Amino acid sequence: CLPAPPCRRLRPPPSTAGRRTTPFGVEIWRGHAAVEAELAQAAGVTYLRYDLLWWDQVELQPGVYTWPERESREVALIADQGMIPIAVIHNAPRWSRLVPDSGCGPVHPDALASFAAFLFAAVSHYSQPPYYVRHYEIWNEPDAPLVPEEKGWGCWGRPEETNWGGEAYADLLKV
C-alpha cells in the first residue's frame, strides 16, 4: 500500500464558497457536461456523478498516466459552476486484469499495488484546482455478473461464490 497524501484542509472551489448545498445529485455523461451541468445547476443540484477516469485508457503502460483532456475539462467545468463532482473510476488495463477479456472485471492480485499507485496519482492530480474532486466511486456496480467485454459497469460479481466474489472488490478497496 502507498502512503496517503498528506492531510491538509482543502478549500472548496471559489464558486461553491458560501453557496447553499443540497444532498441531491444527478449523473451526467461524458461529452455532455456543458449542457447537463447547466441544467443541473438550474435545478439546484449540488453533486454530479461523472465517469471521469477509465483506468484502461489512462494507464496503457504501467506507471505512465495520460489524463483525459475532455473529461478533465468537463470536471473543471462542473466545479467552476459550483457543483461537487463525484468521479467514477472504471475498467482495468489489459495488463492488470484477472480475467483478460473483461475490462470491467476484477483486478489481478499482483496488480493491486499498480491500482493503488494509479489512484494516488489520480487523487493528487484531480484534488487540485481547477478540478476540486473530493469524492470517488471505485468501479460502477461491482456486483454485476462478470462479462467478457469492455463494459462501463463493475462486473466483478460471481453468483456461484459466497458474497458473489466480493472479496476481490474488498481487496481492491483495501489498497
Q: Angle at CA 90, nearest 5°, toward 16 and 144?
A: 115
Task: Please report the pLDDT score of residue 19 as a whole number.
Answer: 64
Residue 121, pLDDT score: 97
pTM reported for the whole predicted model:
0.85
Residues with Cβ within 8 Å of 74's Cβ and at least 6 positions away in sequence, in order, are: 30, 31, 33, 34, 37, 50
Tens digits of residue pLDDT in 135-162: 999 988 888 887 776 666 668 888 888 8
| Interval 79-114: pLDDT, tens | 998 899 999 998 999 999 998 888 888 999 999 999
pLDDT digits (tens, 9 = 90+) for 6-28: 545 555 555 556 666 778 788 88
Could you give the 3-state DSSP secondary structure of residue 88?
strand
Full strand arrangement of the beta sheet holding 25-28: 25-28, 47-54, 84-90, 135-138
Rounded to 10 degrees, the C-alpha dihedral 8/56/173/140 comes to 100
pLDDT of residue 16: 58
Tens digit of each residue's pLDDT (9 = 90 or more) over 118-130: 999 999 999 999 9
Amino acid found at 17: A
- Quote the crossing angle between the two packed helices 33-42 and 69-80, to the nearest 10°: 20
pLDDT value, residue 167 = 87
Residue 55: predicted pLDDT: 96
